[in-house]
Every structure is written in structure tokens, then in C-alpha cells.
């Protein structure tokens, strides 16, 4: 299973967002894990294509760090998001009134996947993100 330092570098990122009503969105872009402080600064950037075909630039940023045998993920402003054990890679995050649950799949490392299931009064979707090392990355 990967350690925090194994994520460092550039990744091609593709994402499907499957809404319970049958609508689908897609994200195509890149992610970068760069050393910063005691961990890695995660940044993703790309094009989000909505169900009707409308597209726009989208980006997000998190901080990943090793913490007690787990990987702790924080929002860009430092607030805790979730933590997971690479040997049992699942976690949850409650953002009232929505429930976010993630499972990571590292079985085909260095290809990996994050599957988020989000449910709440106005949210009901699954988001599947696939990561592949960028060309030239070890």
C-alpha cells in the first residue's frame, strides 16, 4: 500500500459524477501533490462538463499529511476533512446536512481511484476519480 510520499508528483485525473436522477458530469484534468511543510499540497485543475454539455474551469486544493499511521486530509484553510488508513482506505465526513463517504482503491498502484458517495437533502451522487501517473513520472 502507498505511503504519503508515494503520491508526490503529477497525475492525470478523470472523474465521473453520477447523480441519482441519471444525470452525469465529467471532469478531465491534472492533479499535483507537491511537498509543503510537513506534508503534500494537493492541487487539481481541469475542465468540468455538466450534464447539459456546459463546461467551465474547476480547481480545488487540499493538504495531505502522515499522522499516526494514517493519511490526514485537510481543506485548504487547514480544517480537517478526513483521515484514512492506507491498509483499510475508507473514511467519512459529515458536512451538515450532507454525508460524504469515500473509499480509496490502491490495488492497481500507481493507478488508483477514489469513490465518494454523497447524500443529503439536496445531494445524492457518486463521484469516481481515477488517477494515473503523468508521462515521465516514476
CATH number at residue 18: 2.40.128.20
At 29, give phi and psi (nearest 5°): -175, -150
Asked if the model's pLDDT at residue 138 lies above 90, the reply is no
Which of 9, 15, 7, 76 shows the shortest CA–CA distance to 47?
A: 15
Q: Say how many C-beta atoms besides its own lie within 10 A of residue 51's C-beta.
A: 13
Q: Considering the domain boundaries, does residue 103 fall inside one?
A: yes
Overall pTM surpassing 0.75 (yes/no): yes
Domain presence at residue 39: yes
Tally the domains of the chain: 1
In this predicted structure, the answer to whether residue 135 has a pLDDT above a threshold of 90 is no
Residue 23 lies in a domain: yes
For residues 91-103, give the mean pLDDT. Answer: 93
**How many degrees, rounded to 5, is the angle at CA 93 between CA 98 and CA 42?**
115
Domain that holds residue 23: 4-133
Residue at 138 is within a domain: no
The per-residue pLDDT for range 24-77, each reduced to its tens digit, is: 999 999 999 999 999 999 999 999 999 999 999 999 999 999 999 999 999 999
User: Does residue 71 fall inside a structural domain?
Assistant: yes
Q: What one-character DSSP code corresponds to residue 134?
A: P
**Range name among 116-120, 126-130, 133-137 with the lowest pLDDT average:** 133-137
Q: Is residue 129 domain-resident? A: yes
* Dihedral, CA of residue 79, residue 84, residue 85 and residue 89, to nearest 10: -160
As beta bridge partners, residue 42 has: 33, 62
Amino acid at each position: 500500500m502507498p505511503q504519503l510520499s508515494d503520491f508526490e508528483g503529477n497525475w492525470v485525473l478523470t472523474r465521473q459524477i453520477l447523480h441519482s436522477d441519471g444525470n452525469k458530469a465529467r471532469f478531465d484534468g491534472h492533479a499535483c501533490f507537491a511537498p509543503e511543510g510537513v506534508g503534500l499540497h494537493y492541487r487539481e485543475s481541469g475542465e468540468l462538463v455538466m450534464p447539459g454539455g456546459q463546461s467551465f474551469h474547476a480547481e480545488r486544493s487540499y493538504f495531505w499529511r502522515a499522522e499516526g499511521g494514517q493519511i490526514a486530509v485537510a481543506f485548504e484553510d487547514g480544517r480537517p476533512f478526513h483521515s484514512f488508513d492506507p491498509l483499510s482506505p475508507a473514511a467519512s465526513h459529515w458536512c451538515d446536512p450532507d454525508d460524504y463517504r469515500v473509499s480509496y482503491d490502491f490495488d492497481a498502484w500507481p493507478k488508483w481511484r477514489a469513490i465518494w458517495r454523497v447524500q443529503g437533502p439536496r445531494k445524492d451522487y457518486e463521484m469516481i476519480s481515477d488517477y494515473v501517473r503523468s508521462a515521465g513520472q516514476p
